[in-house]
Amino acid sequence: MFEVNRLAKVSHDPENSRSPYLFSGIDVHIQQAERISLIGASGQGKSTLLRTLALLTTPDEGKMMFEGASSSELGPRQWRKHICYVAQQAVMLPGSVEENLSTASRLHGYSFDRKLAEELVHTSGLTGLDLSKNARELSGGEMQRVALIRSMLLRPAVLLLDEVTSSLDTMNTRAVEQLLQEWHAREGTTMIWVTHELEQAVRMSERVWFMSGNTILEDAPTKEFFREPSTEAARTFIGFKKEEVQS
Ligand SMILES: Nc1ncnc2c1ncn2[C@@H]1O[C@H](COP(=O)(O)OP(=O)(O)OP(=O)(O)O)[C@@H](O)[C@H]1O
Ligand SMILES: [Mg+2]
């Protein structure tokens, strides 16, 4: 369904790195709906990788295919209908929440499904949110969920989720996790989550991509990865994270 071969992005600050690439040699093969978590240290290029997969930034090398068509054949507009990025920092368009939710749909040539939008607003923990409210006056956590719902309404085959619960408290994080679990089951959406919370990776994915050394160093089933990572880099990373959780 979604296939990426030898994807690379040249680093724009190579003097600060041992490699001329921010990442290279990225191979991705997704045959059916999956839930993948993308983990790794800060600055590894996780956000840039997701942005590249969504064609929000151009790859410097490699090839991407979605259902038999290459990204260059489809072009960014068509491509982003299928593979949709939800940013780490939500950006609201001017206007109300409802306008934010409906504009994205209309821009992509879909009619606005108000009923579904209201259902998603409710299940993401935003019950009672006034849709006529100015979107730029929302809290960070509210914006994050509106941005997520805005993308879900496009019903992409692949949702690229960049720390989408980072501004939320535990209760709302769980609401969003549940919402996305149900969405995955109901719509068959593939989800690639960037998260710094290893417990979230365990809860939300059956496959892990561990980014280190300018590439996806490990691609493994989640349980296997956390039970026995194959690389020293991953063992160190998991070890550090465990200490963080305990301290
Ligand atoms: N071509 C490039 N495109 C984007 N960032 C680049 C590039 N080359 C080098 N960089 C640098 O690499 C880092 C990539 O950041 P990115 O946001 O992708 O990392 P991240 O893994 O998502 O980090 P975090 O966990 O903190 O969100 C930044 O420091 C950026 O300046
Ligand atoms: Mg990031």
pLDDT in tens, 38-76: 999 999 999 999 999 999 999 999 999 999 999 999 999
Indicate yes or no: pTM above 0.85: yes
With a 6 A CB cut-off, is 130 part of the ligand 1 pocket? no
Domain ranges of the chain: 2-92+156-246
**Centre of ligand 1 from the C-alpha of residue 24, in Å:** 13
Q: Pick from 48, 61, 165, 209 the residue to mutate for probing ligand 1's pocket: most ligand atoms within 8 Å of its CB.
A: 48
Torsion sign over Cα 241, 17, 160, 126: positive
* pLDDT band of 13, cuts 50, 70, 90: confident
pLDDT in tens, 142-161: 999 999 999 999 999 999 99
Q: Which of 23-27, 168-172, 235-239, 240-244 has the lowest mean pLDDT?
A: 240-244
**Percentage of the chain lying above the pLDDT 90 cut:** 89
* Predicted pLDDT at 171: 93
Q: Pick from 22, 56, 57 the residue to mutate for probing ligand 1's pocket: most ligand atoms within 8 Å of its CB.
A: 22
Tell me what the pLDDT averaged over the chain comes to.
Answer: 94
**Centre of ligand 2 from the C-alpha of residue 169, in Å:** 19
pLDDT in tens, 92-131: 999 999 999 999 888 888 899 999 999 999 999 999 999 9
Q: Which architecture, in CATH terms, is 2-92+156-246?
A: 3-Layer(aba) Sandwich (3.40)
Alpha-carbon span 170 to 195, nearest angstrom:
14
Q: Which residues contact 92 (CB under 8 A, 6 or more apart)?
A: 100, 135, 136, 138, 143, 146, 147
With a 6 A CB cut-off, is 22 part of the ligand 1 pocket? yes
Q: Considering every ligand atom, which ligand is closest to the CA of 22?
A: 1
**C-alpha distances in angstroms, 106 versus 96, 99, 103, 111?**
15, 10, 5, 6
